[in-house]
Chains A and B, each alone.
Chain A
Amino acid sequence: MAKKAVRKVVKKAVKKTAARKVSLPAYKAGNYATQHAVEQFLYKQAEVLDAKRWQDYIDLFTDEGVYWMPADPADRHWDGIPSIFAEDKNLMTVRMNRVLHPDAWSQRPLWGTNHVVGNVIVEKESPNGDVVVRSRFHMLELRRDTVRHFAGSYVHQLKKTPNGYRIKMQRVDMTNAQAAFEYVLQVWV
């Protein structure tokens, strides 16, 4: 193959794998406060999940908030397509009540999670204080004697309120979203 043709093929392949355009925000002095507040919010979210404080987690969302885990990283809108999770607060409440029901058989065995959130990048900050923030997570889950490891990225659209940030949309892209799931996911990641 001619060199040019090779370059073309390589370019095409790269395009195919790049799921999302990543823009690095310009460094701005004065972002510290937002950066810090957003990080604290994400750490708190991780703690709430690991502590199984489900109602506290749901309360982190605005009334119209949505928790979305796409089935395909190329998906752009949560509505009207197959998704692993696509839940408003009402559906989140169903999930919480189910998990807390004494006869949720799959919840009976010992289980727990451990989230670590990092690579926190404030992508956009609006004049009203709302932010869009990207981050990465690793989550280790124990069920009975089995450990599973999940990782992926979050995009949070956060609304600034007098009581701190609230989630308008939490998008969770799991690295293994398209692979076969060994067993299933029971609560939000």
Chain B
Amino acid sequence: MPDRNPPISKLVEPDRVHKSVYTDEQLFELEMERIHERVWIYCGHETQVKKPGDYYTVQIGRQPMVMVRGADGKVNVLYNRCPHRGAMICGDRHGNTGEFFRCSYHAWTFNHDGKLKNIPMMESGYQGTRWNRDNPDCNMKQAARVANYRGFVFASLVADGPSLVEFLGPSKIAFDDICDRAPEGEVEVVPNCFRVIQNSNWKIFLENQLDALHPSVTHQSTGRAARDVEVQIEKKTGHAPLAYHMLSAFSTVTIDKWDNFQTLNYPHGHCILAGYMGLRPQDPDTLAYEKTLVKAYGEKRKEEILSTNIHHVLIYPGLSVQSPLQQLRAVRPLGVNKTLTEIWHFRLKGAPEPIYRRALAYYNLVNSPATLINADDLENFWKIQTGLGSDGGDWVSFARHYGRDIEKDGVLETGEGMGTSEAPMRNQMKAWSEFMARA
């Protein structure tokens, strides 16, 4: 660590964080080692790899990994690396590898669980050496742990630590909420993920996800523009598609109203933004959908499912889930000031088509690379990253409503009318300090 930075234990105070946490390259390496390459990281949804041999590559911390479906139906997560001379095995982002992996350098082959299948002229070439089928070093290495929660596949690169369900804790409601909204209790990935690079540190994105103070400021232009057109359409036809309402909410939900939201902050840095964006209209499409839910679950359970009061769930350190719209953003840090987001949409199995279309409109307008919303967030992220590089100050403040949070059984709740509290950021940085303190 450069001398001008305080030691790690001094970087995070309860209501502020030292800027080097966002700008220091050595700290970034340490974060990858102590956070991303240890905790449970989201790899993908099992429906991304439906058939045996289907694979998807994914970055966990600094490690290129590959998620692959085996002939036995099991989803494996392997290091995308050949044990021979280290070449990457899968060069495409996704595809089908057939019955086995085959390295493009010297044709070593591997089963879908990574186990060595064959080496050309193995007998003559390796007799008497340390390389034989019983030596695990001949296999593609597996992630230490892989777990699947309701179809969402996670991996951890270390053998010890909490189980996935323990790690997720109450934040697993993100996946329950997505799946329960499907009459069949499952979702299927929409086979096209949007990928956008942010020129900023990964934590800046996570902090923004639960920042209830910013939408009406940052997204004012789109909110207003959408509202104007929404009003015109309403005049002409009586009612505008829901997509306009989702966009115009950014201006009609003014800055003071965001205090009505509430955040619930959990161990390991996870957080739920509870609140309601008017996603439960009473149009014929919604009513038809509600009928399918009643049929599947009964009236009482349907009410429970649809009144789940979630706007956003943040699963530290790399997943932001918008369960009422069946969308998620996975964060892949590429460097201290470069971050890739992969944005996925899911289809509720058994739900009528209009419900998918409605969420799709949001996916296209808000989450595509031509986003009407995130563009201004990215602009802010870049400004933050650049500003933090300056000597104009050493600290980032998270003091809003500090000292007024309510702590109940390890859960930090923002108080009534304090939805814009910076509690989620304080909670994330608390988790960060705990992870970083473990050598």
Contact = CB atoms under 8 A, between A and B. Distances in A.
Among B224, B353, B368, chain A packs the most CB atoms within 10 A around the CB of B368
Contacts of B194: 71, 82, 84, 181
A102 B353 CA distance: 38
Contacts of A101: 220-221, 224-225
Interface in B236-261: 244, 247
Interface string A178-189: 011111111000
Nearest to B363: A82
A172 to B, nearest CB: 10
Contacts of B233: 90
Given A105-B380, A183-B378, A82 B360 contact: yes
B192 A185 contact: no
A72 B378 contact: no
Interface stretch (B65-73, B177-185, B195-203, B311-319): B195-203
Nearest to B367: A82
B379 A106 contact: yes
Contacts of B370: 69, 84-85, 184-186
Q: How large is the interface on B (under 10, 10 to 19, 20 to 34, 35 or more residues)?
A: 35 or more
Contact of B192 (A71, A85, A90): A71
Contacts of B379: 105-106
Q: How large is the interface on A (under 10, 10 to 19, 20 to 34, 35 or more residues)?
A: 20 to 34
Contacts of A96: 225
A145 interface: no
Interface in A103-118: 103-107
A95 B368 CA distance: 14
A99 B371 CA distance: 12
Contacts of B374: 184
A139 interface: no
Interface of B, helix, strand, loop or mixed by DSSP: helix
A106 B378 contact: yes
B192 A80 contact: no
A185 B378 CA distance: 12
Contacts of A185: 369-370
Nearest to A69: B370
A82 B195 CA distance: 12
A91 interface: yes
B368 A71 contact: yes
Interface of A: 69, 71-72, 80-86, 90-91, 93-99, 101-107, 179-186
Given A97-B229, A104-B221, 16 more contacts: A81-B192, A81-B360, A82-B345, A85-B370, A90-B233, A94-B247, A96-B225, A97-B224, A98-B224, A98-B225, A99-B221, A103-B221, A104-B222, A181-B197, A184-B370, A186-B370
19 contacts: A81-B360, A82-B194, A82-B364, A82-B368, A84-B370, A85-B370, A94-B225, A94-B229, A94-B247, A95-B372, A97-B224, A98-B225, A101-B220, A105-B380, A106-B379, A180-B197, A180-B340, A181-B194, A186-B370
Interface of B: 190, 192, 194-197, 199, 218, 220-222, 224-226, 228-229, 232-233, 244, 247, 340, 345, 353, 356-357, 360, 363-365, 368-372, 374-376, 378-380
Q: Which are the 6 A-B pairs with shortest beta-carbon distances?
A: A97-B225, A101-B221, A104-B221, A180-B195, A98-B225, A181-B369
